Amino acid sequence: MGTSVLSLRVDGELLDRLRHHAARRGMSVQDYVVRTLMRSDFDERFSSAVEETERFYGVTCRDA
């Protein structure tokens, strides 16, 4: 898997908050943003998998 460049334009306040969050974790802003996007992508894929499983078995968490 290769890498690509993604350029973002963010306002100064958001960038300051990103820097603060990244610094608390000892990370660069770039690493923090990438990890956040990866986590969000995982959460979305996991949620979709749960919904698909519930449809397959015909149950929801509320039915259990």
pLDDT at 27: 96
Average pLDDT over residues 17-45: 93
Nearest to 35 by CA among 44, 19, 22: 22
Evaluate if residue 36 carries a pLDDT over 70. Answer: yes
pLDDT at 55: 87
3-state helix vs strand vs coil in the chain, percent to 5: 65, 0, 35
pLDDT at 10: 93
Average pLDDT over residues 22-36: 94
- Amino acid occupying residue 13: E
Cα–Cα distance measured from residue 60 to residue 54, given in angstroms and rounded to the nearest whole number: 5
Evaluate if residue 25 carries a pLDDT over 60. Answer: yes
Query: What pTM was estimated for this model as a whole?
Result: 0.66
